[in-house]
Amino acid sequence: MSDDIKVKDGLRESATFDRLTMHEIRRAAETGIYDIRGFGAKRKLPHFDDLLFLGASMSRYPLEGYRERCNTSVTLGTRYAKKPLELDIPVTIAGMSFGALSANAKEALGRGASIMGTSTTTGDGGMTPEERGQSKKLVYQYLPSRYGMNPDDLRKADAIEVVLGQGAKPGGGGMLLGQKITDRVAKMRTLPMGVDQRSACRHPDWTGPDDLTIKIQELREITDWQVPIYIKVGATRTYYDVKLAVKAGADVIVVDGMQGGTAATQDVFIEHVGIPTLAAIPQAVQALQEMDMHREVQLIVSGGIRNGADVAKCMALGADAVAIGTAALIALGCNHPMYDEEFKKIGSAAGFYDDYHEGKDPAGISTQDPDLMKRLDPVVAGRKLANYLNVLTLEAQTLARACGKNDLRNLEPEDLVALTIESAAMARVPLAGTDWIPGHNF
Amino acid sequence: MKTINLQEQSVRELNQLLHDQAAECTEREWEVLEPKGAHNIACGIDQSLSVDIKGHAGYFCAGMNKHAHITVFGNAGQGVAENMMSGTVRVKGDASQAAGATAHGGLLVIEGNAGARCGISMKGIDIVVKGNVGHMSCFMGQAGSLVVCGDAGDALGDSLYEVHIYVKGDVKSLGADCIEKEMRDEHIEELTALLNRAGVDEDPSKFKRYGSARQLYNFKVDNASAY
């Protein structure tokens, strides 16, 4: 029965207990356990679509598209590192683990990013030779679990990212379920095959920001102060977290909003913890500005970045670069309609698949199954990612030129207005057609 | 022997000199004077050096050590031998919390007591403590062995994976999924070898063995009350 017929027949669905809610109640009653899934938040949140650019007309002077240059390069880690990371575009690939992703997917990410002169990031599980081999610029994550962590890989990295939290699950750890644990993954993580691999929610050998300062110094000492140290936080108390991260000595701060993806965690965590990416950026920028560290400590923003407009809006709000995770996987082929029949066989559909933890991904991306993995050609997929990164960059440049900017980092909040009161308040830009920023000028 | 006085040179200068030995080893024996609790002393070494630290060390002393034999002639702060890969670290005094955290290999000997979470998330290191260990020791320990010649605090071995734990004294309480296990011949052999390597004169037959019951290896809703 279609929805139209139901309405015609006078049937009315409850707004509180809609069909999805009822389905989840039944699922919980059947299994007795919460839903674990991947992907990011699926509820509608205030996002970058709620902002608009003010293209130049009379009072501003635009730049000529296809004629006048608009710089996209960015240097990360200028505060302390002897070798800051030079990126050709301000779009980086976020940390995603080998284990959660197939080796081919990790290789494809490295290939695509390297074509475009940007960086990729390891994840929970350590650095693979393939990943290091294909990524010209590789950020090594120092995670609470310390799976696969070793000083040799640390010294091979172009930057180190101390992960304190993730936008999808601030305050939570991860879980790589046993069905995805191949012999190689088990060895890398020093755990038996088939065991559910819990990733800790906190680092085991320090307990607060003062300890973190010393921990960062240790990492710098081990790497002879060569490479930048990032601190990644899930967006929650962003203003305070950024201030403490600066105090602890971060070269770069990564703020991951609640639209950020994950390989596997509780649905209730993904949908109910953290703040939207849009709301986190002004808090982070305010903290940096108050410490006179904006641009001195670079800010990377992630969590639901989809297109060049999102990139440009992040930068206008004060970010130095963005990181993409879920979007990069979609560029590789995640949830591709060509596998719709196979998605249906495992109880999902193309565009809806989020059971990354089950290891049955028909697209060969979030799996360790050798046969499924083979479906993803890392060369072809890497080229697609490069194309996508190129489009993000071109789109962002187009918008920047329209605002009269010859560098993406010259975009500023003054170039933006908001469509809704909520987004105006969160982004701290005026409601369109007014000079009103809720909470700032009455 | 190369001598560095940390009241005259910085930890940065010391560590750089030690790291340079990985490229060209010109001096195998090192002595560090007047450390006075400085942090990050002798971390990131990648060479078979002998380093004697004559005094107390601060946080993360000998962090991520590979190959080197490092002795602290005093107490060590938080996270001594953090993520060590190989070699030996010996603390003549006491160690603070998270000693040997996440370490993948090598031997850590603490001649005094160790604080909370000794061996947390350990991944292959062997740790021998002549004194006591604090609460939550070996939490989420994955591989390797922890030998405690004294007593252990609360929640020993909570959420353990495959670490072998040997305790001679009392255990205040065991953590989730940690149980006492039979001490078979192979365990006596293993413990004897560990005590010998550590230079500790104890009778292996006086120890009890603890390990994972492996009931929480895969999440089951029936176990929810254990988490």
Give the whole-angstrom CA distance, residue A281 versus residue A259: 13
Per the CB < 8 A criterion, the answer to whether B67 and B75 are in contact is: no
Give the whole-angstrom CA distance, residue A435 versus residue A431: 7
Q: Number of Cβ pairs closer than 8 Å across A and B?
A: 113
pLDDT greater than 80 at residue B94: yes
Check if A151 contacts B (Cβ < 8 Å): yes
Output the CA torsion sign for A266, A237, A250, B35: negative
Q: pLDDT band for position B226 (50/70/90)? A: low
Interface of B with A in 75-94 (CB under 8 A): 78-79, 82-83, 85
Q: In this predicted model, which residue has the larger pLDDT, A6 or B126?
A: B126
Check if A202 contacts B (Cβ < 8 Å): no
Q: Taking Cα atoms as reference points, which of A157, A106, A103, A149 lies closest to residue A125?
A: A149
DSSP annotation of A37: E
3-state SS, B159-214, equals: CCCCCEEEECCCECCECCCEEEECCCHHHHHHHHHHHHHHCCCCCHHHCEEEEECC
Tell me what percent of chain B is helix, strand and coil, each rounded to the nearest 5.
15, 30, 55
Give the whole-angstrom CA distance, residue A221 versus residue A108: 32
pLDDT greater than 90 at residue B181: yes
Q: Which amino acid is at A408?
A: L
Q: How far is CA A199 from CA A174, A354, A428, in A?
A: 5, 19, 36
pLDDT value of position A108: 96
pLDDT greater than 90 at residue B222: no
pLDDT value of position A176: 73
Angle (CA) A94-A95-A96 rounded to 5° is 115
Per the CB < 8 A criterion, the answer to whether A300 and A255 are in contact is: yes
pLDDT value of position B220: 73
pLDDT value of position A255: 98
Give the whole-angstrom CA distance, residue A225 versus residue A216: 10
Tokens of A424: 């105006």
Residues of B in contact with A200 (CB under 8 A): 121, 140
Q: How far is CA B26 from CA A301, B1, B29, in A?
A: 46, 10, 10
Check if A135 contacts B (Cβ < 8 Å): no
Q: Inter-chain contact A145–B101, Cβ cutoff 8 Å?
A: no
Q: Taking Cα atoms as reference points, which of A255, A36, A229, A245 lies closest to residue A166?
A: A255
Question: Which of A44-53, A168-177, B12-21, B179-188 bottoms out in mean pLDDT, i.e. has the lowest?
Answer: A168-177
Q: Taking Cα atoms as reference points, which of A82, A153, A20, A34 lies closest to residue B224?
A: A34
Bridge partners, A86 (sequence order): A75
pLDDT value of position A174: 76
- Please identify which residue in the block is written with the tokens 């930068």: A315
Q: Strands of A200-320 (E only): list them.
A: 229-234, 252-256, 265-266, 298-302
pLDDT greater than 90 at residue B225: no
Helices A209-222 and B11-23 pack at an angle, to 10 degrees, of 40
Give the whole-angstrom CA distance, residue A261 versus residue A302: 10
* CA-based nearest distance A200→chain B, Å: 9
pTM of the model: 0.96
Q: Inter-chain contact B78–A206, Cβ cutoff 8 Å?
A: yes
pLDDT value of position B72: 98
Interface predicted TM-score (ipTM) of this complex, two decimals: 0.96
Residues of A in contact with B139 (CB under 8 A): 204
Check if B48 contacts A (Cβ < 8 Å): no
Question: Which of A141, A188, A213, A221 best tests the B interface by mutation, with the highest count of B CBs <10 A?
Answer: A221
pLDDT value of position B221: 72
- Please identify which residue in the block is written with the tokens 């969160």: A426
* CA-based nearest distance B22→chain A, Å: 12
Helix/strand/coil for A416: strand
Across chain B, mean pLDDT equals 96
The nearest alpha carbon in chain B to A190 belongs to: B123
- Give the CA dihedral A145, A151, A155, A158, nearest 10 degrees: 0
Residue A219 is inside which H or E element, if any? helix A209-222
Bridge partners, B2 (sequence order): B30
Interface of B with A in 117-176 (CB under 8 A): 117, 120-121, 123-124, 139-140, 142-143, 159, 161-162
Residues of A in contact with B39 (CB under 8 A): 214, 217-218
Residues shown for chain B? 227
Query: Which stretches of chain A score pLDDT less than 70?
Result: 1-5, 441-442
Question: Which of B67, B96, B142 best tests the A interface by mutation, with the highest count of A CBs <10 A?
Answer: B142
pLDDT value of position A347: 94
Question: Which of A153, A180, A222 best tests the B interface by mutation, with the highest count of B CBs <10 A?
Answer: A222
